[in-house]
Structure formats: C-alpha cells, structure tokens
Amino acid sequence: MSLQKILFSPVTRLSGLLSVELEIDNGYITEANVSSTMYRGYEYIMRGRHVTDAVYLTQRICGICSTVHGAVASYLLDELYDNDIQENAQYLRNIILAADFLQNHIRHFYFFGLPDFVVMPDRPPFLKQNCFDCRLDENDNRRLAGHYIEAVKASEKSHQLLALFGGKAPHQHSFLHGGVAVAPTVDKITQALALIGDIREFVQRYMLVDTELISHFYQDYFHIGETPGCFLSFGLFRFGTKNEQVLWKGGVLENNCLTEPRLDLIQEDIARAWFERAKWLGEGEIHPAPHKPGAYTWTKGVLYRGRHFEGGPLARMGMNGYYQGGTSTMDRIVARSLETFLITELVEKWLKRLQPGEPPLKQKTELAKNKGIAVTDAMRGALLHSAYIKEAEVEKYDIITPTAWNFSPKDHAGHRGPVETALVGTSIPSAELKYVIPGRIIRSFDPCLSCATHLFDRRTNTIEEVIY
C-alpha cells in the first residue's frame, strides 16, 4: 500500500476547532500533525483590567468548562489578596466546581463519544453517521441510544445544581475570591441533595453500565491509542484557609515514579507553532508567524522538564489509586466514567456537611502581592493561571490549559505531544476506518480547543498580538 496523506478536518463532536493531518503507510499511521485553528485572546483581553475581573472574563474562554477558570482565577486572587477561606465556603466552592465536572463528563460520554460506538437514530443530529465498526446488537444499540436522552436530563440537572449556588450556568458569578456569594440556605441544600441523588442514580444505572458494555465489545481499544504513561496533575478540590489542601492529590508520574510538580520546570515550546521570538518585543516576547516553515498549529507545546505529559481523569484516577489500567483510548473513557461516579459521592457528602447560613464571603481589599500563580485540575487535565499586577490592574495574564498539554505539537527536538503519540503507530485496516479509529482516539482525550490559537484585529483582518 502506498503512502496516503489524509486531512481529517474538522474533527467533529468536540469543543472548538481541530484539524488533523495523517500519513498512513502500509496500513499504519506513521505521522500525525494535530492543528488548533481558533484563538480568542483572553490573556490579551485581561491586560489593563482590574485583576478581580479575571474571575468573570476568563470563564468566557469556554462554555462547557467555564467554572474551573473562575475557580483557578479565584485561587489566584486569594493569593494576591491573602484571603482566608471559611470551611463552609470551601464546601460550596467544591460543590459548584464538581457540578460543572459532572455536566461535562456526562455530555462528553453521551454526546461526543457514544456515536463513535453506537448506531444512533437516523435523524438530526445523527444524519449520515459513520457506522463502520459498530459492534452492538440491535437491542443494545436501541437501549444506549435512548440513554442519550436521559443524559440530556442528567447534564441539565448538573447545571441546575451549579446554578443553585453559582447564580447561573454556565459562567457562574458566585464562586469569587474570598469565598462564595450565595447563601447555603436549607431549601437550596435540600434541592441540591435531590438533584445529586438523581444524577448519581443516572451515573450508576446508565453511565457505568454503558461504559462497561462498550469496553467489553471494544476490548481492542485497551491497546489502541496508547501513550507512554507520563502523566501530570495539579490536584483537584481544594480545602484549607489558604487553599493549601487538595483532596485528590496531584503529581508528576513518570516511569512509575510519582513526584510533586514544580511549576518552575514548566516551559512552552513554539518550534512547530505559528509564533516567533522577536528581540524588538523584549526578552521572551513572541509574535505571530502564520507562514513559519514547519509550523502547523496555533497551540504552543507545553513541556515539563523537557518532556510532554498527559492530563485528565486517567491521570487523576491513577495517581489517587482509583484506577489501575493502561494508557489507551478505552482506559481514558473508563477512567472518566469512574471519576464521574466518585464525584457524585463527594457532592452528596459535602452537601450534608454544609451549614445553612449567610454567604461565606470575606474579601480583603488591599493587594498583598503584585504577582501570583494558581493551579488546579480542570476536566481535561492541568490548568494554570498567572498574573503580574500594577496598581490592581493586570500587566500580564497567562493561561496554560489542559488541551495545550494534551494537544501539544512536536517540540524543538521533534518529540510528539500525547495525542499525536497516541495516533502514530495505530493500525488502519481498511479505508472505511481511516476516520473512525483516529476519531475515537482523539475524542478519548475530551478535546477543548477554545483557548489556544490566534487573535485577529477585526478592523484590518490581520493578526495583532498573541499572549499565552
């Protein structure tokens, strides 16, 4: 078989815009270039803003994972203002954040992932579905397709839970620096317990069972889309007066050795991204280079100690002892479903520990620092916000998102990021599967490309500036 070059564009059923160029030789993927093609410029937008705007503005990066940007921005502001967080506030904060995790994970499994494995009804939004290699029988197909509708209800209830304490969903307005602005009243707690009970029942009755069924019929995907086993997590669900305690620990997992992450070892690599360094912009500053030879994406590479690392539920579940499996497409899917169930248990426990009362919000008004950095895990992996402040206004705001880790392009040494690594070496046994198999691998990472490419000046339609 001769060398084939395939452009998979756009890759559908994900958040944002993604294109993938593949080379297939003798039935195997021998090269993969994963390209992000949309930028929204939020770091640039933050310049000159009052630093407290970060909680509101950065949430607009994405509609499906917005709360986590508000969360990490709040942690950043807590550090800058030296806030002390009440225990009740931490329970509320984590309930709000967990509710957003739940709607994301449920939607990803049923809305984005399920049509990869199940024949859906021949009506919108499933028209012209690629049904090659769908292995379930007619009864199982009909049953799981029906669960798609139940998932709509469960994800809606997750957003209702979020809005009870967050004020609205998406883009909540209650989880702020210093605490939470909505009072945990008895009626809200009662409503929330009813909602999480329904969500937990859905996950236990449908999502876990459906995941087990799909993993049974697609067991070969436990050996497809594998990565080297290098994982990174900043931890998830913070407690303590200074956000210093993390319920689900983070770490850097490499060669079966788990160490604490060091932020000073994180670096960005623009070797294959459409950026160049320019001396006239100052040391370390970059500018767009859309015609740069050898570049193919607006997403910068993100490295830790010079290596690429994967993040997400598989990293968290492995590091915290909840999942012991491999590094494949199906492992990522199973770990995400397991994490969903564990989060429903946590939310129920936190709701029962909440004390009804006034909004647990205490904000200091004087900045204690002029720069800071905050981290957490988002749905898809490690998330970092950092800021440099002058007289309470932002001089520089940087964001490194989970998708920048997972969808990193090749670095200066030619080493591939996690998704490209997972694709290369994969067998494509027939032409009908040339999009099916790569699509399953890519979607198992839960891609969200809404924050990693270029910024245009609408007046001139030229690229003006990029800050990452």
Handedness of CA 352, 356, 359, 360 (dihedral sign): negative
Q: Do you find a cis peptide bond into 184, omega within 30 degrees of 0? A: no
The pLDDT tens digits for 106-162 are: 999 999 999 999 999 988 888 888 888 999 999 999 999 999 999 999 999 999 999
Helix, coil or strand: residue 20:
strand
The predicted pLDDT at position 44 comes to: 75
Please report which helix (H) or strand (E) contains residue 276, including its range: strand 275-277
Q: Determine the length of the chain.
A: 468
The predicted pLDDT at position 290 comes to: 81
Residue for token pair 């209650």: 174
Instruction: List, for the chain, all residue ranges whose pLDDT scores fall below the cut of 50.
Output: 280-283, 453-468
The predicted pLDDT at position 453 comes to: 41
The predicted pLDDT at position 61 comes to: 85
Residue 247 has φ and ψ, to the nearest 5°, of -70, -55
Neighbours of 56 (CB within 10 A): 16
Nearest CA to 38 among 442, 454, 408, 402?
454
The predicted pLDDT at position 39 comes to: 63
The pLDDT tens digits for 15-64 are: 888 999 999 999 999 999 999 887 656 677 889 999 999 999 999 888 78
CATH numbers and ranges of domains, the chain: 4-463 (1.10.645.10)
The predicted pLDDT at position 2 comes to: 75
